Structure 1
């Protein structure tokens, strides 16, 4: 989820915590718990500071190790311990319980969008991305705003937010059902024996979905509007060659980071006089006939890596700015 929704969930959880009489009747403890749920609801995304280093490091670790089981446990104990130091007379177990729950909820809700998390690490490095809730979902965010309004006019926050989360559970089921209907249509069209993967990505608009399909011989990029699926691009599924050039490309940090994350991509190569440019293009995030999530590497004829980049680029000019090769 986006940062705003994560924080909104932290505030809501702090309100639900007032179901505990010791919290409800103790303003200092309530304040400490609220801080814990707000910080805990955002803590796994502290890895955004990795962007300051480079995109490759960020891509490898964002929603990776920072959303893993060991780090989820760590965040709960670390944040609640700091709060206990700040408010030493508060019951530690109460601080830890609600803070840890906020961290768990953060990781849990992240698995429902197309980006996903490696929430099962260290037992599995598989990305869990269910792909039926948008990173920013207006329904979920507005539901929290309504809850804050009802809380503000005097209704009990526990009753308010438990009711809202009950309704949102039904909303999640509805979105999951919409995803399954789209998948069923694609399986019927291409044949269950041909389809090797279907990747769904809901948009901010309820009726529009982005789709990517992998079959034995092709990649298909599609768009669904009101349940009607339109294929917008088809690409031949060409395996990466097993040669020294590709082996060199895979050693590049940006390419390696991209390949560790992307579940469906195509590649292309352009030869120039003194170097070759290899592009890896993720097919899940098509936007206005453009595929913005890429990894690009330029390799000299002597198999030296000249330059590379991975990340989100929305124009060719900006991409080339990232890949300028200075003349000797």
Structure 2
């Protein structure tokens, strides 16, 4: 989620404490700080783009990381509010921190919630990176909790609306999966993944796998529409070079970056190229995140390049030394 939504969630949830809002209220401050603190992993950008991509939504978003965030937030605020209950500050810091990871779990990037015990990335594939409905819900919660003219019984309304909205998104997602399964029932479908698009509340992307190919497409719920964006054949691959690419630092990074990827190889001018495609996001005419591994005629890896967000964004990975150099063309 974007930082504005995280901040709105922290403030909105703090309003459930029963304490009126004030810029000096430690409960609001603790929830707000903890709700945005996990994204301080953006500081990894000072070590390079690759370091950031490897660590974003990592330990800072895990359960142990969230507890550390709550403890540090409590310790910090206890300096300025020594007479206020540290237990209450800690409680609302935990709630704020948990809201951050909970929201990130609902979009397609996901989080490594069980680090350092597991590096698996978890995602519910339900919400956009910025979802205006969530913003309305959290701001409504804040307003209703702090309005003297409204009854406390109105506070459950935005909470109920949020739950109904999430259930509705689950319903739409499952309906789309059922529709695709029926539409391609003669194609021996082995897997269907449906997830929200980058920008539209009413557009869903999908990955459909058959024995012969992967179908990448989108479905619009309003106005209704269906489109295939790309067909990727399950071509015969040179396992030797593909395995080398997958086991390289670039390959390990890409497999950790996305659970849904496609790999293929080709030859050009005596060189062997292995391409990685992140199948989750299709922007314009191509996939949003790609990577390239280059081998010479003796199958020695000579170059590894990650292309996040656009093809001409070249982040070169030096496989032998763990050094990273960014180069944009």
Q: What range is the shorter-chain TM-score in?
A: 0.7 to 0.9
Does residue 120 (structure 1) correspond to residue 114 (structure 2)? The answer is: yes
- Preserved contact between residue 16 and residue 145 of structure 2 (Cα < 8 Å): no
Does residue 107 (structure 1) correspond to residue 107 (structure 2)? The answer is: no
Write the distance in 2 (CA, Å) between the matches of 1:96 and 1:320.
Answer: 40
When structure 1 is superposed on structure 2, of 117-126 and 173-182 the one drifting more is 117-126
Pairs aligned (count): 317
TM-score under structure 2 length normalisation: 0.84
- Superposed CA offset, 1:90-136 (max 9, x none): 21110100101111121112111111112234554332211121111
- Superposed CA offset, 1:294-328 (max 9, x none): 122223335444332324233x4445999979xxx
Aligned in 2, Cα 1:272/1:142: closer, same or farther, shift over 3 Å? same
Write the distance in 1 (CA, Å) between the matches of 2:192 and 2:236.
Answer: 16
Does residue 11 (structure 1) correspond to residue 11 (structure 2)? The answer is: yes
Give the corresponding residue for 2:320.
Answer: none
Give the corresponding residue for 2:319.
Answer: none
Give the corresponding residue for 2:233.
Answer: 236
Give the corresponding residue for 1:278.
Answer: 274
Aligned in 2, Cα 1:10/1:195: closer, same or farther, shift over 3 Å? same
Give the corresponding residue for 1:64.
Answer: 58
Runs of 5+ in structure 1 lacking a partner?
Answer: none
Write the distance in 2 (CA, Å) between the matches of 1:11 and 1:160.
Answer: 17
Which structure dedicates a bigger proportion of its chain to helix? Answer: 1
Match of 2:255 among 253, 259, 262: 259
- Preserved contact between residue 15 and residue 142 of structure 2 (Cα < 8 Å): no
Does residue 309 (structure 1) correspond to residue 305 (structure 2)? The answer is: yes
When structure 1 is superposed on structure 2, of 56-65 and 36-45 the one drifting more is 56-65
When structure 1 is superposed on structure 2, of 276-285 and 47-56 the one drifting more is 47-56
Give the corresponding residue for 1:50.
Answer: 44
Alpha-carbon shift at residue 147 of structure 1 (Å): 4.7
Does residue 194 (structure 1) correspond to residue 189 (structure 2)? The answer is: yes
Match of 2:175 among 164, 167, 181: 181
Match of 1:205 among 200, 209, 219: 200
Runs of 5+ in structure 2 lacking a partner?
Answer: 317-324
What is the CA RMSD across the aligned residues, in angstroms? 3.1
- Superposed CA offset, 1:244-271 (max 9, x none): x334423433332111232222223343
When structure 1 is superposed on structure 2, of 289-298 and 89-98 the one drifting more is 289-298
TM-score under structure 1 length normalisation: 0.84
Aligned in 2, Cα 1:60/1:150: closer, same or farther, shift over 3 Å? same
